[in-house]
Structure 1
Amino acid sequence: MEDAQLYASANALQRRDALLVLSEYLPQMAWRDEGEAVMDIGCGSGDVTRNLLLPLLPTVDHVTGVDVSSEMVNFAAKTFDHNSLSFRQLDIEKTIQPRQIFPDGFTKVFSFYCLHWVREQEQCLKNIYQLLQPGGEALLVFLANNPLFTMYENMSLKPEWHEYMKDVSNFISVYQHKSDPAQAMSDIAEDVGFDILSCEAPQLEFVFQNINYVKNAIQAVNPFLKRVPEEKREAFLRDSLQELARLKTQRPDGQMVARYSLMVAHLHRPE
């Protein structure tokens, strides 16, 4: 996911879900009168951090958006500059001792549509635990399962695309094939030391405006596209759309619909 401009223009599903979750969970969180130090993990192009999260926070001193992609961080810093907001590069999965990078820690940690890319869930949660101050809370929102991942798996089996997708399992949510993804997530978080305030994986739907929007959305988040030779990319995207249609993501009226499970974990670091 390196095209920040494309992602910012094709992430309506992500923005909708972030707003739904924030509207429900922000009133349930404990807020300090003097303001909060907040981190947004996987800030991407920065639009959700700036336009959704920051305005909805009841009290805030500063929000730090972090992302593994330097291109995303640079785009976010240039496009969504604000005196209560900054953007930094950070790999939440592979960084060792992240509190050395952010010594003061954070009172709240949020993450939207990022952690399904993380294979080492336990290490990721350990880093989030370390970044939180005692008594802090995390609200983590990401895909538990999604037809997009099934499409990747099916595409990787095709001879014309296999060589570009040999590591497809690295880009599939570790909860994709779990019978109870929320319980699996809860077990890992509890082992790390979190109190589980709630952890659910509800089934949701999102209807895309038109086929071009679906194409742009796929292109914006597809980790394999940059590996495909430029002259074959249009065929790859066309095949991706056809594969999604075979997964019954197309309605009788022709509109494409995504049916997926969204992990929503509200965690607390004990005092």
Structure 2
Amino acid sequence: MAIEQYGRITEENMYSQRIHMNDDAELYNSANDVTRRDAIQLLEEYSSKLKFKVRNPRVIDVGSADGSVTKILSKYLPEKYKILVGSDINKKSIEFANKTYGDNRLKFIPLNIEGNLPDNLRDAFDNTFSFYTFQWVRNQEKAFTNIYNMLSKNGECFVMFLGYSHIYTLFYALSKSPKWRSLLKDFDTFASPFWNYRDPEKELNKILKSIGFNEIEVKCKQMVYDYKSLDAIKALVTAINPFVIPEDIWPEFLDDFVKVTQDMKLIDEQTGAVKINYNLLVVHCFK
């Protein structure tokens, strides 16, 4: 299959009613250090377990956003991989990624992983990856079914995404305040479906088995990231914020976000660093 054929995605597939991350790809690129750090850490940890075809593996990264993590992924592929496709629901992200990272073997295409899977993507890949995307997915079964259908026989799936996070707790607290309640009314469609699960691994295993995946391994990893300053955490919140908050009151929202962060004692009073605890759900399985 020629690289151009991976780009034939219908408009119907692109859009759904779910809430989306801020579409400023350049801003996200400057603020997503934690995503890049964790992707590298997990790829290093699982590198000996990942199974690629000896010749010309075809690989897709689902939810490639700005493309920086997809570029990192390319360094962990066999030298003679055939194609690496990054995919995202956001057109601006696709344009940014193709311009910044695209080359003759790396292409970015529009794709809604919860939509109807285009015929040209069925059985089209030997390995599927996804980093920090499935926390945005409401219909987990549909998304993992699409991944299953994209894979060739014995194809491999590797997905990591947020379960619990202090970030969700902070937004949740603000969503309950009279001041911000109306603007954050869609909090439940912003937080990871597993953010308050006691045993998310069990639920994910159930979904994956029902679809037909084999050799399923699901882990919940406790993680910590130290944002060096309040400006750094503000930049992150701005980059991922999906809510429609008027620009003229956005600084006020950030100030209140910081106040809640202080109330939760997440800020180091001496250095100003912000310690965010979170859980990463890591899925590794095969078709």
TM class by shorter chain equals over 0.9
Does the alignment pair 1:56 with 2:73? no
Provide the residue aligned with 1:31 in structure 2. 52
The within-5 A match list for 1:122-161 is 122-161=141-180
Does the alignment pair 1:248 with 2:268? no
Letter in 1 for 2:76: L
Provide the residue aligned with 2:8 in structure 1. none
The within-5 A match list for 1:110-129 is 110-129=129-148
Give me the whole-angstrom Cα distance separating, in 2, the residues matched to 1:99 and 1:145: 32
The within-5 A match list for 1:232-271 is 232-253=249-270, 254-269=272-287
Q: 1:58 to 1:248 in 2, by over 3 A?
A: farther
TM-score scaled to structure 2, two decimals? 0.88
Contact 1:147 1:247 survives alignment (8 Å): no
Report the CA distance between 1:252 and its aligned residue: 4.8
Provide the residue aligned with 2:5 in structure 1. none
Contact 2:53 2:126 survives alignment (8 Å): no
Q: 1:196 to 1:159 in 2, by over 3 A?
A: farther
Unaligned runs of 5+ in 2: 1-21
Give me the whole-angstrom Cα distance separating, in 1, the residues matched to 2:165 and 2:26: 24
Provide the residue aligned with 1:189 in structure 2. 208
The within-5 A match list for 1:92-111 is 92-93=113-114, 95-96=115-116, 98-111=117-130
Report the CA distance between 1:76 and its aligned residue: 0.6
Q: Give 2:89's match in structure 1, choosing from 55, 68, 73.
A: 68
Contact 1:99 1:105 survives alignment (8 Å): no
TM-score scaled to structure 1, two decimals? 0.93
- The aligned length equals 264
Q: SS where residue 207 of structure 2 aligns?
A: helix
Letter in 2 for 1:259: N
Q: SS where residue 148 of structure 2 aligns?
A: helix
Give me the whole-angstrom Cα distance separating, in 1, the residues matched to 2:263 and 2:138: 27
Report the CA distance between 1:152 and its aligned residue: 1.7
Give me the whole-angstrom Cα distance separating, in 1, the residues matched to 2:179 and 2:131: 33
Give me the whole-angstrom Cα distance separating, in 2, the residues matched to 1:143 and 1:34: 33
Q: Give 1:11's match in structure 2, choosing from 32, 54, 77.
A: 32
Provide the residue aligned with 2:239 in structure 1. 220
Report the CA distance between 1:106 and its aligned residue: 0.5
Q: 1:9 to 1:84 in 2, by over 3 A?
A: same
Q: 1:137 to 1:207 in 2, by over 3 A?
A: same
Give me the whole-angstrom Cα distance separating, in 2, the residues matched to 1:103 and 1:185: 23
Report the CA distance between 1:189 and its aligned residue: 1.0
Q: SS where residue 182 of structure 1 aligns?
A: helix
Report the CA distance between 1:35 and its aligned residue: 2.0
Give me the whole-angstrom Cα distance separating, in 2, the residues matched to 1:48 and 1:109: 14
Contact 1:45 1:72 survives alignment (8 Å): yes
Contact 2:122 2:151 survives alignment (8 Å): no
Q: SS where residue 202 of structure 1 aligns?
A: strand
Provide the residue aligned with 2:14 in structure 1. none
Contact 1:189 1:196 survives alignment (8 Å): no
Contact 2:205 2:216 survives alignment (8 Å): no
Give me the whole-angstrom Cα distance separating, in 2, the residues matched to 1:171 and 1:196: 30
Q: SS where residue 284 of structure 2 aligns?
A: strand
Unaligned runs of 5+ in 1: none
Q: SS where residue 239 of structure 1 aligns?
A: helix
Give me the whole-angstrom Cα distance separating, in 2, the residues matched to 1:247 and 1:126: 39
Q: Deviations over 1:125-158 (max 9, x none)?
A: 1111111111000110100110111122111112
Does the alignment pair 1:203 with 2:190? no
- Identity, in percent, stands at 32
